[in-house]
Amino acid sequence: MSRLVVVSNRVADPSKASQSGGLAVALADALAERGGIWFGWDGKVVEKGTRVPPATHTEGRVTTVTLPLTRKDYEEYYLGFANSVLWPIFHYRLDLSDFRTAYVKGYQRVNSKFADALAPLLKPDDLIWIHDYHLLPLASELRKRGHGHRIGFFLHIPFPPSDILAAAPEHQLLVRSLFSCDLVGFQTNTDLANFERYVLEHQGEESDGGHLKAYERTILVGSFPIGIDAEAFAALAHTPKADAQIQLLQRRTIARTHIIGVDRLDYSKGLPERLRAFRRLLELYPQHHKSVTLMQIAPPTREDVDAYTDIREELEALTGAINGRYGDFDWTPLRYIHRTIPRPTLAALFRGCQVGLVTPLRDGMNLVAKEYVAAQDLNDPGVLVLSKFAGAAEELKEALLVNPYDIDEVAEALEVAITMPLKERQERNNALLERIRRHDARYWQENFLSALEQTSLGAAA
């Protein structure tokens, strides 16, 4: 079995992978089985001129290799091109993209630095697996340095329709770079179709049987919906400590029905629209006053990007307005928590809440939707209300699927969820759970790597 080299923008500490969630666990498992390297940024920023060699840390058969970014790299590559250009555009938000010429240069520069630092660590037979939008040009940088390895790339976020991508600076170059890979994987069939359409429009070559030919290379493409470790998450939700936390949640509030939302505070997650839908529920159904609450956990993220400050202010204002209008001395309708909550507490809260409200405006997959289902009690499961624009909606058909922009529709779905009879809740939950268990994180990782191993050996582009 070939050694695995995983490259991602950030590297999770493998010894803490179980606390960090699905992706870190899936990758840590694959690395432990095959042995290998996990390479990426250590999350630190150093001032110009500071030369810090990559730090290596080996545990068992896995070595993490991390390096810091200079302030300029952090601003131009991470905050700039990755998170102020690619993230909004790939989430269909051209209005939020903030393009500066320096960003493209910074993005190319960091990808080239990553390739320089990674190159000496590679062995001839390694399988290389690159992750996400930060590193679209990395495969092409490695090929330029003469590496003929099998290279796979997986995009965790959506791939936008051709016309939207065409608004991104250097879009042709970015897509062309992906043709230096042997396998390019997406979360959903929609993303895959968008990619194929872009390539056909810009290169005019035919695809066949999962292969796509363009830029003088033929690559394998496919959709590989990411999963979670459903068993482990269910176990986390069913500990004596989780039981105690759920009892506390029920004792401390007069509400009988708890709705929960958990999302990084990101504009792609549809949080203001979600709060408005909850307000509409209270407007339309006064019988729920004092019997329903919404708990929205929204840990901070990318606070150095302006668009993220704006959304935080909007949410704080909405929370105040809703609680001011509907709250009473013995009832706070909306609890908004702008902090990271420990993972076991999150699992307990999912289990203790009767409705999981997951309404991103656009999302690659959305693991929270799967975690909510995995945490439920089979005897008395809650109901998942899910945006049809989350990648997860392609698989999770038995959720109540909603258009997150349509406030009335989401409010009505909440009403259906709150009043759903036990039998229907169980039928829906069983069907969802069966699929989430079958297509778990291991299934995702094994499928991707076996497809990559079956490609013919990468030729230099």
For ligand GDG, the closer of residues 359 and 366 by Cβ is: 366
Selected range binding ligand GDG among 160-168, 206-214, 362-370, 448-456, rule: CB under 6 A: 362-370
374 near ligand GDG (CB under 6 A): no
Does residue number 368 form part of the binding site for ligand GDG (CB under 6 A)?
yes
d(CA 100, CA 179): 26
Exactly one of 43, 60, 148, 299 binds ligand GDG (CB under 6 A); that residue is 299
> 113: buried, middle or exposed (CB in 10 Å: 19+, 13-18, 0-12)?
middle
Binding window for ligand GDG (CB under 6 A); candidates: 98-106, 253-261, 359-367, 407-415: 359-367
Strand order in the sheet with 207-208: 55-59, 62-70, 36-46, 4-10, 127-131, 150-154, 183-186, 217-223, 211-214, 207-208
How many binding residues for ligand GDG (CB under 6 A)?
Answer: 22
| Nearest-angstrom CA–CA distance, 115 and 107 | 12
Structure tokens at 272: 């203001």
343 binds ligand GDG (CB under 6 A): yes
Neighbouring-strand partners of residue 154: 131, 185
Gap between the Cα atoms of 434 and 455, Å rounded: 31
CB of 274 to ligand GDG, least distance (A): 14
Q: Are 441 and 25 in contact (CB under 8 A)?
A: yes
Task: Report in angstroms how near the CB of residue 241 gets to ligand GDG at its nearest.
Answer: 15
- Per CB under 6 A, does 365 bind ligand GDG? yes
Residue 246 neighbours by CB under 8 Å, 6+ apart: 348, 349, 351, 352
Nearest approach, Cβ of residue 402 and ligand GDG (Å): 17
156 in contact with ligand GDG (CB under 6 A)? yes
Query: Which of residues 115, 226, 311, 357 is near ligand GDG by CB under 6 A?
Result: 226
Give CA–CA dist 78/69, Å, rounded. Answer: 9
Residue 23 interacting with ligand GDG (CB under 6 A): yes
Amino acid sitting at position 262 = V
Q: Specify whether the CB–CB gap between 293 and 333 falls below 8 A.
A: yes
Contact range with ligand GDG by CB under 6 A, out of 77-85, 110-118, 197-205, 341-349 = 341-349
Q: Is residue 366 within the footprint of ligand GDG (CB under 6 A)?
A: yes
Stretch that binds ligand GDG, among 52-60, 100-108, 307-315, 339-347 (CB under 6 A): 339-347
Which segment (77-85, 253-261, 307-315, 338-346) binds ligand GDG by CB under 6 A? 338-346
Q: Which CB atom, from 60 or from 300, has the smaller least distance to ligand GDG?
A: 300
Please say which residue, 272 or 327, places its beta carbon nearer to ligand GDG: 272
Cβ–Cβ contacts within 10 Å for residue 79, how many?
18
Q: Determine, following the binding rule CB under 6 A, whether residue 364 of this chain makes contact with ligand GDG.
A: yes
Q: Cα torsion for 366, 402, 95, 262, to the nearest 10°?
A: -40
Among 144, 198, 196, residue whose Cα is nearest residue 172: 198
DSSP state of 340: P
Check residue 83 for interaction with ligand GDG (CB under 6 A). Answer: no
C-beta closer to ligand GDG: residue 345 or 455: 345
Catalytic residues: 156, 363
Of positions 22, 80, 137, 152, contacts ligand GDG by CB under 6 A: 22
**Applying CB under 6 A, does 21 fall inside the site for ligand GDG?**
yes
Largest CA distance in the chain: 69
Q: Which residues contribute to the site for ligand GDG (CB under 6 A)?
A: 21-23, 156-157, 226, 262, 264, 297, 299, 340-343, 346, 363-368, 371
